[in-house]
Structure 1
Amino acid sequence: MSVTQKSQTQGAFSPIANRASALGTLRSLQAKAPVSGNATRPVYEAIHAEPNTSFRWHQHDYPAPVARWNHHLEYELHLITKGEGRAIIGDHIGSFGPRQLVLVGPDLPHGWFSPLKPGEVLTGRDVVLQFSAQWIETLTTLCPELAGLRNLLQASTLGIEFTGPEALQMGEKLVAIGTVQGAAKLAACLGLLADLTSAPFRTLSLKGENPALNSPEMQRMSNVITSLMAMDPSEIRHDHLAQDLGLCASTFSRQFRAATGDTFMSFLHRLRVCHACHLLASSPLSITEIGAASGFNNLSNFNRIFLRLRGCTPREYRRHAREMTALSPADATEFLN
């Protein structure tokens, strides 16, 4: 059996589209010029709280208009209730699964992308709590008991994922906020925020807010990012993407970096390593086969880039993943992502 044939059996994390279908979105952008100056902020999401409320709680399906690579001024506590896929939070790209709980700070780009069959909808996949910096800062000033939130909020500028059994408990409390109204809803929110101050977490991104969020290239590149997250990493080629957008390779690279604050190859390496991590933990493929299936042209290159991004070799990662899965599924989830 070939590497390609084997990698197609890996379940929900398998790429949801081949190059021809996933790039349909990119080709539709070819004739569209970037939006000028301040005319729009393409991936900016305007958050509107309901009247007479201090924050916004909502649950939505996937796919949905709000389920895209986006940023906004508010803090966001985000729970995944079902489904799997790839998440991009700041410069972090990693796998996610049910019950992942993440807090992202203001203007930190983020998005969760799940592989779907044609016509499939993940009902109620995302549960979201959003609140303004002004509201939470006023709250921590008035309520000394919430002073511990300041460190948490500061850490969220890089995106944080809550870990351990506490994350499961906090996720349940976040869902429960949607079952009450009025003062009871506020009390439930405050209780959750207080509990979060003592919950363990890990930082996701190395870089925070992207200063290029208002760049005119952002609209085009935000659609590119969405398409890339759905593609097989081994099929992604820099020159092909540029050609599909009607750009030369150098112009595409410049626009990508202006919009994301990162080089295209750096982004692609993280995407490929994310895919490799999943295969290392879940498939019987050899290290060499996994490197090839993830888009690395040789084993030496695969080992070098994997070590730089994950801090261990692919072989060490596979061993740790198996050991941690045997000891604790919760700890394994934290390690694998």
Structure 2
Amino acid sequence: MTKIDLNKAALFQKLPNSEGNSFIVNRYQSPYFETPWHFHQEYELVYCETGFGMRFIGNNFSSYTAGELALIGKNVPHLFKADDSFYKPGATIKPSSVVIQFVDDFLGKDFFNSPEMAEMKRILSLSMNGLMILGDTRHKIRQIMLDMLCCGNVAKLAGLVRIFELLSESTDLQPVSVDEISGVNALDSAKMNRVLEYALTNYKGNISTGDAARLVNLSESAFCRYFKSRTQKPFLNFVIEMRLNEGCRLLNETELSVLEICYESGFKNLSNFNRLFRKRFNQNPAAYRNRRKSCEPF
């Protein structure tokens, strides 16, 4: 597996533990999830409680919806950006997530090296690519995380150990990122975040490599090398991925026609949308929608 150093790519974030606790359990609510593309030394288990939007983990850029659960490895750059259309000013329900964060040695430097934790140590290694947690495992872990928000410290620790057990036994784990990507330092974080913010704001409309390059004071050719070195993807391919993921979300969650979804996702014509959709998913948008509605495995 290729390991890619994101040289000066994402913001390093130091997470403060609350007093009297060796790991973090918290609910975060925010209109848009403003935290930039960042990394930290903690492993992170994140349950998307409400809202929807775009999710960046390592070199994977895709949409997320409420109910999803992911395990993100230490120092893996990531970002969850809630869609602006979910929250309206003055609304009582904001995008929210429940998060557990812990370091390797939160229970001692030999904890994950013990024989009993051998399988969980393997899961943590896999989390360096990001892991989506699916099926029955997701439902069980979600409930434990919610219970941990309002229980005592010993019960919190017991809940986390139970989560480790469920992950160790699960066959419902799906890698997110193709390559293992680790953040290095924060010197260039503002540059990458300007690019991501531009892409997130404009991918449904007009977007260009030239405009993105000017945001970070690079020539187009230098920008293309810069972006690919940090994501292993050309910038325009990244934009197409975001548009296709938005198309998938609309196919799953709305009754809009395929033509309407084509334009709503940022594509200029239906034939191009169909061609790119088929190339990625091996079926056209209508077949994708029908299969999802019939609950057949995709």
* TM-score greater than 0.5 by the shorter chain: yes
Moved more, 161-170 or 279-288: 279-288
Q: After the TM superposition, which parts of structure 1 deviate over 6 Å for at least 4 consecutive aligned residues?
A: none
Verify: 1:87 aligned to 2:55, yes or no: yes
Moved more, 58-67 or 146-155: 58-67
Residue 89 (structure 2) aligned to one of 93, 101, 119: 119
The answer for unaligned runs of 5 or more in structure 1 is 1-37
What letter matches 1:270 in structure 2?
Answer: E
Distance 1:109 1:150 in 2: 20
What letter matches 2:139 in structure 1?
Answer: L
Compare the two structures and name the one with the higher strand fraction. Answer: 2
Residue 110 (structure 2) aligned to one of 135, 138, 144: 138
Residue 181 (structure 1) aligned to one of 129, 152, 166: 152
Verify: 1:201 aligned to 2:176, yes or no: no
Please tell me whether the aligned partners of residues 55 and 131 of structure 1 are also in contact (alpha carbons under 8 angstroms).
yes
For the structure 1 residues 41 and 96, does the alpha-carbon distance in structure 2 shift closer, same or farther, using more than 3 Å as the test? closer
Distance 1:54 1:120 in 2: 36
What letter matches 1:275 in structure 2?
Answer: E
Distance 1:238 1:281 in 2: 30
Q: How does 1:11-26 map to 2 (within 5 A)?
A: none
Please tell me whether the aligned partners of residues 113 and 121 of structure 2 are also in contact (alpha carbons under 8 angstroms).
no
For the structure 1 residues 55 and 311, does the alpha-carbon distance in structure 2 shift closer, same or farther, using more than 3 Å as the test? farther
Please tell me whether the aligned partners of residues 280 and 290 of structure 1 are also in contact (alpha carbons under 8 angstroms).
yes
Distance 1:88 1:215 in 2: 17
Find the counterpart in structure 2 of residue 281 from structure 1: 252
Moved more, 150-159 or 49-58: 49-58
Residue 49 (structure 1) aligned to one of 6, 9, 17: 17
**Percent identity between the two aligned chains:** 25
Distance 1:129 1:252 in 2: 35
Find the counterpart in structure 2 of residue 68 from structure 1: 36
Distance 2:154 2:264 in 1: 53
Q: How does 1:180-259 map to 2 (within 5 A)?
A: 180-199=151-170, 200-210=172-182, 213-214=184-185, 216-245=187-216, 247-259=218-230
Please tell me whether the aligned partners of residues 141 and 147 of structure 1 are also in contact (alpha carbons under 8 angstroms).
yes
Please tell me whether the aligned partners of residues 234 and 292 of structure 1 are also in contact (alpha carbons under 8 angstroms).
no
Find the counterpart in structure 2 of residue 58 from structure 1: 26
**CA offset digits 1:83-126 (Å, max 9, x no partner):** 12221112222222222111011122212111234536755712
Please tell me whether the aligned partners of residues 60 and 123 of structure 1 are also in contact (alpha carbons under 8 angstroms).
no
What letter matches 2:56 in structure 1?
Answer: I
Please tell me whether the aligned partners of residues 89 and 108 of structure 1 are also in contact (alpha carbons under 8 angstroms).
yes
Residue 147 (structure 1) aligned to one of 105, 113, 118: 118
Distance 2:254 2:51 in 1: 19
**CA offset digits 1:291-330 (Å, max 9, x no partner):** 3433334445433432343343323312212211xx7xxx
CA shift for structure 1 position 241: 3.1
Please tell me whether the aligned partners of residues 215 and 258 of structure 1 are also in contact (alpha carbons under 8 angstroms).
no
Q: CA RMSD in A?
A: 3.0
The answer for unaligned runs of 5 or more in structure 2 is 1-6
Aligned residue pair count: 287
Q: How does 1:319-330 map to 2 (within 5 A)?
A: 319-324=290-295
For the structure 1 residues 321 and 162, does the alpha-carbon distance in structure 2 shift closer, same or farther, using more than 3 Å as the test? same
Please tell me whether the aligned partners of residues 194 and 215 of structure 2 are also in contact (alpha carbons under 8 angstroms).
no
What letter matches 1:206 in structure 2?
Answer: V
Please tell me whether the aligned partners of residues 59 and 181 of structure 2 are also in contact (alpha carbons under 8 angstroms).
no
Distance 2:116 2:152 in 1: 24
CA shift for structure 1 position 131: 1.1
What TM-score do you get using the length of structure 2 for normalisation? 0.82
Compare the two structures and name the one with the higher helix fraction. Answer: 1
CA shift for structure 1 position 128: 1.0
Find the counterpart in structure 2 of residue 110 from structure 1: 78
Please tell me whether the aligned partners of residues 55 and 130 of structure 1 are also in contact (alpha carbons under 8 angstroms).
yes
What TM-score do you get using the length of structure 1 for normalisation? 0.73
Please tell me whether the aligned partners of residues 80 and 127 of structure 1 are also in contact (alpha carbons under 8 angstroms).
yes
Distance 1:233 1:86 in 2: 13
What letter matches 1:141 in structure 2?
Answer: N
Secondary structure of the residue aligned to 2:28 is: strand
Distance 1:50 1:319 in 2: 47
Find the counterpart in structure 1 of residue 3 from structure 2: none
For the structure 1 residues 228 and 55, does the alpha-carbon distance in structure 2 shift closer, same or farther, using more than 3 Å as the test? same
**CA offset digits 1:158-182 (Å, max 9, x no partner):** 1111112331221110122222233
